[in-house]
Structure 1
Amino acid sequence: MTVSVLVVDDSGFFRRRLTEILTVSGQIKVVGAATNGREGVEMAEKLRPDVITMDYEMPVMDGISAVREIMTRHPVPVLMFSSLTYEGARVTLDALEAGAVDFLPKNFEEIARDTSELQKILIERILDVARSSPGKKSPAPTATPAGSAAAGGADRPRERPVRPRPPVMTPEEKPAPVSAARRILRRGAAKHYSVVAIGTSTGGPVALQKVLSGLPASFPAPLVLVQHMPASFTPAFAERLNKMCQIEVRQAEEGDLLKPGLALLAPGGKQMIIENRGGQARIRILPGDNRLHYRPCVDLTFGSLARAFPGKTLGVILTGMGADGKEGCRLMKESGSDIWSQDEKSSVIYGMPMAVAKAGLTDEVLALQDIGPRLQEGVS
C-alpha cells in the first residue's frame, strides 16, 4: 500500500528535495506541499495524508502550533525536521509534546554519508511513522491535547483513508500471554531494587515525562534512563525532565554514583554502562561504537546492569521502534531480575515493548498512565 505524505516547509528547495527522495521508492506518494503551518493544517484537513513532515520555523503559523491544531482536528502521524542545536532540541521536544511522533535533523548531511543511505533512512522513517498511533502524548480520555487550538470544522464528515498497519501476527508470533497475577502486583508487595532502568525510543520523551513526573523526591531507588536521541538533544531533555519532576534528573557523566531519587540519562551519541565494584555503583560513559546501531543502546546498558546487580534490577521498556532492549532484558531475566513493558494501546510505536513481550520476558504489561503509580507501589 502506498503511503501518502504532506510536506510542510517554507523552503522551496527543501520541499522539492524531500519530494524527490521520498518518491524514489514507489512506496510513498507526496500528495501535497504547504509553505507554512496554517496552509499545512488546511491541506491536512483536505487531503487526509497518512504522514505529515513538518518544519518548526515558518511564517504565518509555526510548526508546533500546526501540530497542535492537526492533533485536535484530525490526528495524523507527524515527523518533525529540526536543527541539531540546543534550541532545536527544545523546540523539537515541544513538538513531540504537542503530538508529533518522531523527528529527524533537517540538515541531510547530518544523518547520512551518501544519497542512497539518505534515501533509505528517510523512506524507512516515513514508513515506520505511518504505522504509529498519533495523539498518544497524554493518556487522558480526551483526544484534545492540552493547550491546543479550537477544533474549527472538526465535526465535518469526511471519508478517512485506511492507514497502513503493521502485518497481522500469526498465533505463533503473538506475545506470550501474561497472567492477571503478573499484570498487577498486589498492594503492599513492594520489592527492593538496587536500580530501576528504563529504555525507550520513538514516543519516549513524552512517555518518560509522564512516568517520572509523578515520582516523589524520596523515590527509594536510583534510576537510569536510555532514550534514543542525538548528542545535542540529551542535555536539553535532561534539563526539561528535571524542571518538571520532583526527583533529580540530569545527563549522566563518567564516574557518577547511583543514588536514590536520582535519574541519570544516557548521553546521546555515546554508550552508558554501570559498574558495581565493592558495593559502589558508578556510571561509565563509553564512545559511541559505529558497530552498534543505537547510541545510546538499551541492550548495552541493561546488559551491564544484569552483571552489576543480578536479580536486583527492575527493567522497564517503553514505546519505541525496533527491538533494542530485548537482549538486555533477556540477560536481566536470566540473572533473576524483573521486567515491565508498556502495553500496545498506550504505545506510540509498539516495537520495543512487543519484542520483549513476544520473547516471554515481561513480568507485567502496563498502560503508560499506570507505570508511574506502579513504580511507587512496587519499589521499596
Structure 2
Amino acid sequence: MKTKVLIVDDSAVVRNLLSSILSKDPSIEVIGTAPDPYIARDKIVKYHPDVITLDVEMPRMDGITFLKKLMKHFPIPVVIVSSLTPKGAITTMKAFEAGAVEVIAKPEMDITKGLEIVSARIIEKVKIAATAKVKKRDARKEAVDKRRQPLTTKALAQSTNKIVAIGASTGGTEAIREVLISMPANSPGIVIVQHMPEKFTKMFAKRLNEQCAMDVKEAREGDGVYPGVVLIAPGNHHMVLKRSGARYYVKLNQNPPVFHQRPSVDVLFESVATYTGANSVGVIMTGMGADGAGGLLKMKEAGAKTIAQDEKSSIVFGMPKEAIKLGAAQKVISLSDIPQAILSSCR
C-alpha cells in the first residue's frame, strides 16, 4: 500500500517541486496539495493522508497554530519544510514542540536546484515519518509537562568525571527535551547527537537552554565537557570526545557520513567508549535506522552503563531496537524513566 502524502505550502513552486520529487517514488502517492491550512483541513478530512509536509510560515493561519489543531483532532505525522533563516529555525523548534516528527531544510541556493539535489533525502524523511507513532496531544497536559521541575538528587560531586552520551533521530527533539528538563543543574556533563540539518541545531540548543536547569549549547571545537553542561553536536559535523589529563573536551570534523548521517551517533559513542571506559552512561533513543547501535555496544564492552528507550515510548523504534538486538542495552525503559536511570547510573 502506498504512503499517501498531502503537501501544504503557500509557494506554488515548492508545492510543484515536492509533488514532482515525491511522485518519483513508486511507494508514495501525493494525494493533494494545499496553499494554506484551511484548504489543507478540508483535504485531510477528505483524503486521510498518512503524512503531511508543512511549511510553517504561511498566510491566513500560521503553521504552528495549524499543527496544534491537527495534533489535537487528527494526529498525523508531519514533516516540516523550513527555511534556513534564524526565524525559520525558531519556528521549526516550536513545530517539534507542537508534534512535528521530521524537518526538511529549504536550501539557501536556487530552490529548484536545491530541492532536486536533496530529493532522495526528502523521500527518505517522508518514508520515515510514515512509520512514526503520533498520538493526540492535550494542550493542558503539554503546559504542565513544560513546567516540570528537575529531579531532586543527592550531591553528584563524586561523579563529576562521568560523561553521559545521548543519541537520537526521528522524534528525538522532544524526547531529548523531556530528559533534559528533568536533569538537575549539577548533573554530569552530557554530549548529544540529534540527527538534524545544519543551522537548526544551534536553535535547538538555544530552546533547550531556555527550558532546562543545565547549560545547553551547540558544541564548538575544543569545548570542555563539565558538570552542568550539555553539548549538542552541530548539524553537518561529527562530534567526538577527547581527553587531556582529567579534562574531557570535544572535537568536530566533517569526515564522511556514517549510516548516511553527519553527525553520527556511532562516531560519538565510539569516542566516548575509547576515552571514558566505565566512567560513562550511553543512552540511545527514538529514531530510524541503526546509527548508534554498534557504538553503544562498544560503550558497554568498555564498562559503561547503557540504556535504550523502549518501543512503547519511542516515536520510531529503530535505533533502540537495533541496539537491543546487538545486546548493547543493559536497560530498556520508558522515556519518562530515563532521567532517573541516568542519575542512578552516575552515582
State if a TM-score over 0.5 links the two structures: yes
Give a deviation string over 1:108-145, Cα, whole Å, max 9, x none. Answer: 9699978875432222221111111123xxxxxx7424
Amino acid at match of 2:175: A
Report percent identity of matched pairs.
Answer: 39
CA distance in 1: counterparts of 2:296 and 2:335, whole angstroms: 19
Question: Structure 2 residue aligned with 1:354, among 317, 321, 330?
Answer: 321
Q: Which residue of 1 aligns with 2:335?
A: 368
Report the Cα distance in structure 1 between the residues aligned to 2:115 and 2:58, rounded to whole angstroms: 26
**Within-5 A mapping of 1:340-351:** 340-351=307-318
Distance of 2:36 and 2:112 partners within structure 1: 26
2:286 corresponds to:
319
**1:208–1:365 Cα change, 3 Å:** same
CA RMSD of aligned residues (A): 2.5
* One-letter code aligned to 1:289: N
Report how many aligned residue pairs link the two structures.
333
Q: 1:356 to 1:85 in 2, by over 3 A?
A: same
Q: Equivalent residues in 2 for 1:37-76 (5 A)?
A: 37-76=37-76
Q: For structure 2, list consecutive stretches of 5 or more residues without a partner in the other structure.
A: 143-152
TM-score, reference length from structure 2? 0.89
SS in 2 for 1:29: strand
CA–CA distance in 2 between the matches of 1:53 and 1:257? 38
The equivalent of 1:209 in structure 2 is 177
Query: Which AA in structure 1 matches 2:172?
Result: G
Where does structure 1 lack aligned partners over 5 or more consecutive residues? Answer: 136-141, 149-186
Match of 1:289 in 2: 255
Q: SS where residue 184 of structure 2 aligns?
A: coil
Deviation, structure 1 residue 356: 0.5
Contact 2:107 2:114 in 1 (8 A): no
TM-aligned CA deviation for residue 147 of structure 1:
8.8
Does the aligned pair in 2 maintain the 1:274–1:304 contact within 8 Å? Answer: yes
Instruction: Determine the structure 1 residue equivalent to 2:88.
Output: 88
The yes-or-no answer on 1:231 pairing with 2:201 is: no
Per the TM alignment, residue 378 of structure 1 is displaced from its structure 2 partner at its CA by: 3.5
- CA displacement at 1:361 relative to structure 2: 0.9
Q: Which residue of structure 1 aligns with residue 189 of structure 2?
A: 222
- Alpha-carbon spacing, 1:102–1:337, altered in 2? closer, same or farther (3 Å): same
1:15-34 aligned within 5 A: 15-34=15-34
Spell out structure 1 runs of 4+ moving beyond 3 A: 107-119, 145-148, 190-193
Residue 317 of structure 1 and its aligned partner are, at CA, apart by: 0.6
Is 2:107–2:115's contact at 8 Å kept on the other side of the alignment?
no
SS of residue in 1 equivalent to 2:41: helix
**Structure with greater contact order relative to length (CA < 8 Å, sep ≥ 6):** 1
1:122 pairs with 2:99:
no
Matched-pair contact (CA < 8 Å) for 1:40–1:66 = no
Aligned counterparts of 1:244 and 1:108: Cα–Cα separation in 2: 30
CA distance in structure 1 between the aligned counterparts of 2:288 and 2:268, rounded to whole angstroms:
18
The structure-2 alpha-carbon separation of the partners of 1:230 and 1:366, relative to structure 1 and needing over 3 Å to count, comes to: same
Structure (1/2) with the larger helix percentage = 2
Secondary structure (helix, strand or coil) at the match of 2:6 reads: strand
Q: State how 1:149-160 maps to structure 2 within 5 Å.
A: none
Q: Radius of gyration: which is bigger?
A: 1
Kept in 1: contact 2:84–2:199 (CA 8 A): yes
Residue 110 to residue 227, structure 1, CA distance change in 2 (3 Å): farther
Task: Note the C-alpha offset of 1:39.
Answer: 2.0
Structure-1 residue corresponding to 2:149: none
